[in-house]
Structures are given as structure tokens and as C-alpha cells.
A and B are shown apart, each in its own frame.
Chain A
Amino acid sequence: MLTRIVVALVLFAAIFISDKVVGLGKVFGGKAAWVFPFALYLVVYLLIGYDVLWRAVRNIAHGQVFDENFLMCLATLGAFALAIYWGATGREIEGFDEACAVLLFYQVGEFFQSYATGKSRKSISGLMDIRPDYANVKRGDSVERIDPSEAEIGDIIVVNPGEKVPLDGTVVKGASALDTKALTGESLPREVAAGDEIVSGSVNLTSQLEVRVNKAFYDSTVSKILELVENAAEQKSKAENFITKFAKYYTPVVVIVAVLLAVVPGLITSEWSTWVSRALSFLDVSYPCALVISIPLSFFAGIGAASRYGILVKGSNYLEKFNQANTFVFDKTGTLTKGNFAVSRISPEENAEEILRLAAIVERDSGHPIAKSVVARYGKEIEGGYTLTNVAGAGVVATRGEEIICCGNEKLMKQKGISYAEERGTGTVVYVARNGKFVGSLLISDEVKPEAKEVVGALNGMGCRTVMLTGDNEAIAESVAKEIGLTGYKASLLPQNKVEEVEKLLSEKRQKDVLCFVGDGINDAPVLMRSDVGIAMGGVGSDAAIEASDIVLMKDDLRGIPLAKRIAKKTMAIVFQNIVFSIAVKAVILLLSALGITNMWFAVFGDVGVAVLAILNAMRVNSRYEGKERAQKAGRREKAAA
């Protein structure tokens, strides 16, 4: 196709220039003067347009009246006919070049469109190049290479360095580093060893691993993600629906107006050739394909750009909605906080070692996360020989001979009549006393994710409401909300209350407000589904989260949210630009053609030019997002310094 275009262009240029310089009309004199230039231009025309002509004939036979090939042929053949008419009636010989150029540029435009969409499709599918081709299954002593879908749960598979992990499983032998970039956007390799669960789609980097298969292929992470991405394009956005609807009426209307434009003033003024020529210009811009392409292309590029950062968006419509998002509701534990309890303060500090030693003795056998955090913090061998007694709702008492250690909340201290120094920090407080005397206290709290404050700040900066839902008590909720900078919180909620709370927020919002719920997807699937846009964190390995949510952050990192918002914003801006720009230019061309100010040259040039610009604009969506923010910040800082 490219060679055809180039050859035709060169030929066209040669004929065009020689016509203008020498005047091809002079070859034959008199009334037949038009024949020579016509013959030359016809050669170029057929060379560049034979397939368009053929398709026009074929499609019209199928009853496709408003077909672009047919309209193009009508416009160009009409221009030829008009030029012959002018030539034959002894007027100036012109118009052949126009007819040829229209088809030539049309083909250039088509070529560019298909090149751009092909390239865009490839770049996205390249990003999603996580589908494993085979699995090496151990059968007895030998290793067999099979299709991943044939592997069964419990099979032992061998993953060599450089290979993709074909199925989700647990490492049983070997240690290596895994590259999970294609899945999560995380560029740091993950170290794994025997006992670790690994997900399909990651690439083994350093040494051989033996893995026991935990999930069949159709259930594995790779299949779920691929399915999600392939389905993504099905959820069409309002903008896409608008433009296809527009296109549906646009072509017939333009064609009808063109016919009217040729006939009505023609009848009145009898200036037939003038008005027919203007009507033909109309046909040049009658096809809206470029416009229709640029919209899904923009969304596709947006979804692709997001997936590069490990953000899976389930459809164009969610990208569109997410751009409007102005209320963010967060689950607390596991979303804003790490969900792991840790000792955050020991007082008095000089007694730290002794407090921890005593607390560890009491808490050693408990499976409670708080007890575990104490034992983990102590990290040394714990003295044995104590008898442990549980005091319901208060704590635990350990005795060995004369020694009594009490470890629990203020109720236990009061019960035992021990005076203690109150700890006012947020979290769970454990008071420790030995033989009736207060030793000190431990403050245990859930750690806030390091990026939480930055992310909530960024969202607040975008004018969004940020609300936290938690089962924790008022005091803890308030302090976490304050620390992170949330605009609101709801404390002491039971899991089922979370849905109610979100329902309430949904009923309060205005029509165009969009509510997002951010959760880890473990027990908040109903809320994720109920909200306008459900965002699940740390989606790798969690089917429930992937299924229930609309946007999945594969990496357990809140910074994906403002990043996704930036991508959504840029995508929507470009979509809007393309719609307005393309329609405006078409309207102007139509108007100028009707008034006879422009000619076919301008019309086709404008039309193809707009298509190319719209597509190039759409490709802009797929740029880098991470570096940009930093650059902007640096710029702002410099400005502030100056």
C-alpha cells in the first residue's frame, strides 16, 4: 500500500507540475484539449483508487448506499465528469487534478489510520504479554512440556530462569527473584523461596524453581487479567456512544444536503456546474470514520497507559466516570493502613526491655494479632514455666511460684488495684504489672501506609471528599483521619454497616457526583459493587477483588489512585478535544464549501488533516505519567524560589 501511495504521489506531482508549467491541454488542440490531461490523471486515479472503486461497486450491490467507498467514488468521478464537461464545452481545463488528489489524500488518510490503530493495538497487547505458552510439568523423573491449561492442581511444575510462571502456585524447591512488572508495574524484583506463593505471569529471573500448582489455568491470575483486559473494550463510554450515534446520522444528512445543494440552486440559477462542484466537496467530508476511530483509540490508549502502571481499568466507561470522581470512600484496615499491628510506643522508655520481656511471657501462646506483635517485637527466647490465666475482656495473668505478672487493659489494672500511668495514644494499650507494681505500658497500633497522607492530600487537592470507614472506635478513627488528612470518617462500623454507609453517601450525592470506594476486596465486595467506581487494592492473587471492582490496583500502593485519576483526566480531555475539533472543522469545511469559498482540495485536505491530527492527539494519551508529576513539582518549586 505504501509503495502504491508513493508511486501515485510522484506520478501525480510530475503530471501536476508539467500541467502547470507547460500546459498539457496544448497537446491536442481545440475541443479535444481535455483528453490528454484526462488520460494522464486517469492513470493515477486508477492506480491509487482501483480498490476503492471495486469496493464501491461491491458494497452498492449489497445495498450499502452510505458507504465511504461509494461516496468517495461519487465525489471523485463526479469531479472528473464535471471537468470533462468544462473541457468539452471549451472552458478552461481544470478539475482533473482535484479529482485525483481527493482520492490520493483519502488513501493517505486511510493508510495512516490503519497504521496508527494497528500500532496502538500492538502496543497494548505487548503490554499484556503475560500469557504463558507452556508449562514444564514433572512426571516422575522426566519433565514434560504441556499447555498450561492441561496442568492440574497439585502438579509440580519447573520454572527455568527467563520463563514465565505459567500457573499460580507455591514454591516447593529453590529460591529466585521474580519480575512482576507486567502484572503490577512494580519494577523491583520480588525475592521468593520455598513456601512462598507466586502468581502466574511473573517472570523467573535468576534460578530454577519447582512450584506446586494451586489453581487451574482458567482460574489463574493470568487468565483473569487477560479476560478482564479483553472485556474492557466492551464497556463503552458515553463519548463513544455519542460519536457512533452522531456518525449514524451525519453521513445521510450530509449526503442529502449535498443533493439539495446541487439540485435546488441549480434549478433556480441554472448554474449547474458551480453547484454540483460545491455539492461534490460536501461528499468529500461526508464520512466520519476518522472521528469515530479517534475516540475508542483514546480510551484504548488510556486503559493501556494505566495497565502499564499495574492499574487495570475494566472499561472505557469507568475511565470516563473515574475522571468525574469527587468522593473517595476508603476502608481503613488494609487499605489506608497496613493491616498489621505493631508496637508503636513503650513507656517509660528506659524500662522497654523489661516491659517487653514480661509482656512476651504472658502473650506468648495467644494467636491474637496484638499478642503476636508483642512477641515479634521482643524477638528473643521467652522464659517458660508460667501458668497463664485468662481474665475475660481484661487481659491475662501469668504466675510462677510467688511471681505474678498482669498484662491487659485498664480494667485489669483497676481490678487488681494497681495504680498505673495512663497511655493516651491511639491504638490498643497493654499495661504490664509485676507483683502488684506497675512496670509500664505498650501502645500497639496499626501502621498507616507511608503513602496514605500524600495520596489523600493529592485527592483533597483535586477537590475530592475523602472519607474513611472503619470498625475501630471513635478515638482511633479520629486520630488516623487527622494524621492522614481525611475530610471525614465514620467509626465503629460493623461490616454490614459499611454497605449502609455507602448507600447513604450515594443517596446524598448530586447527579453528576461520582463516588469511589477503595478497599482491599477481601470482605468488601458488596460495597465495591454498590459504589459508582469500585477500586480494589493489591489485586494480584485475589479473584474476588478482581471480579467485584471496576478498577484494580495490582500493586498494593495507594499512589495508583491519583495516577489513575491523572490518566483518566488526560484521556477525557483528549476525547473532548477530538470531538469538538473534528466536528468544528467538518462544519467549517461544509459551510465554506456551500458558499463556494473553498474547493475540493481544501475539503479533502481538511478532512484527512483532521483525522491525522485527531489520531496523533489520541496517541498522546499513552505517554509517561510518573516522571511528569515530579517535573511539574520541580518546576513549581523553582518558580516559588524565584
Chain B
Amino acid sequence: MKKVCKLEDLDCANCAAKMERAIAKIDGVDSVNISFMAQRLSIEADESRMEEIMREVVRVCRKVEPDCRVIL
């Protein structure tokens, strides 16, 4: 299943790349793409575990770049 969400206060392009790499490592994530300019996160992941995965995404993002918030 594909899910797209907005990212708020994403100020650093390299952080976006770091977040992308960190999210890709989450179990169950097929593909992930963060667009720094559009401030969008799009993620393709196992539908049955989507909620759990998204919680993990938020956690990982907070770890890499605490100023940036994922709007679910």
C-alpha cells in the first residue's frame, strides 16, 4: 500500500536523505521517497502492518531530525 504524508519544518536536505535511508531500513517498508522541496514523504509498505510501520517512521524521523514533524 502506498501512503503519502506531509513533512513540516524539513529544513535540511541532507537530513531528508538521512531520514530516507533510516526509513528504508524499517522492516516491512518496500520503498520510501522523501522529497525535500515538496516536503512530502511517500512510502510503500506492507498494508497489514501499516500502522505499526508508520509509528516506527515517526520515531525514526524524530531521532534523525527532531525539528521535523511527520503529519499523518
Contacts and interface: CB of A to CB of B under 8 A. Distances in A.
Contacts, number: 63
A347 interface: no
Interface string A109-136: 0100110010011001000000000000
Given A62-B63, A62-B66, A234 B42 contact: yes
Contacts of B14: 68, 244, 247, 287-289, 292
A196 B39 CA distance: 38
Contact of B36 (A110, A232, A296): A296
A121 B7 CA distance: 13
A293 B36 contact: yes
B17 A292 contact: yes
Contacts of A121: 37-39
B14 to A, nearest CB: 5
A233 B37 contact: yes
B66 A58 contact: yes
A289 B13 contact: yes
Interface range on chain A (Cβ under 8 Å from partner): 20 to 34
Interface string B2-46: 000000000111110100010000000000010111111010000
* Most chain B CB atoms below 10 A, which of A59, A113, A117, A247: A117
Nearest to A64: B64
Contacts of A55: 66-67
B37 A297 contact: yes
A356 to B, nearest CB: 57
A230 interface: yes
A304 to B, nearest CB: 9
A274 B13 CA distance: 33
A12 interface: no
A275 interface: no
A577 B42 CA distance: 30
Question: Which label, helix, strand, loop or mixed, suits the secondary structure of the A interface?
Answer: helix
Nearest to A62: B63
A300 interface: yes
A261 B66 CA distance: 32
Interface in A271-312: 287-289, 292-293, 296-297, 299-300
Contact of B33 (A59, A62, A234, A289): A234
A114 B14 CA distance: 13
B40 A233 contact: yes
A248 interface: yes
Contacts of B12: 68, 289, 293
B63 A233 contact: no
Contacts of A248: 17, 21
Interface in A288-340: 288-289, 292-293, 296-297, 299-300
Given A59-B66, A233-B38, A296 B13 contact: yes
Contacts of B17: 244, 247-248, 292
A59 B64 CA distance: 7
B16 to A, nearest CB: 8
Contacts of A287: 14
Contacts of A233: 35-38, 40
Contact of B40 (A230, A244, A289, A296): A230
A300 B14 CA distance: 16
Contacts of A114: 11
Contacts of A289: 12-15
Contacts of B11: 110, 113-114, 117
A299 B13 CA distance: 14
Interface of B: 11-15, 17, 21, 33, 35-40, 42, 63-64, 66-67
26 contacts: A55-B67, A62-B63, A63-B63, A64-B64, A68-B12, A68-B14, A113-B11, A114-B11, A120-B37, A121-B37, A124-B37, A230-B40, A233-B36, A233-B37, A233-B40, A234-B35, A244-B17, A248-B21, A287-B14, A288-B14, A289-B13, A292-B17, A293-B36, A296-B37, A299-B37, A300-B37
- Top 4 A-B pairs ranked by shortest CB distance? A233-B35, A292-B13, A300-B37, A233-B38
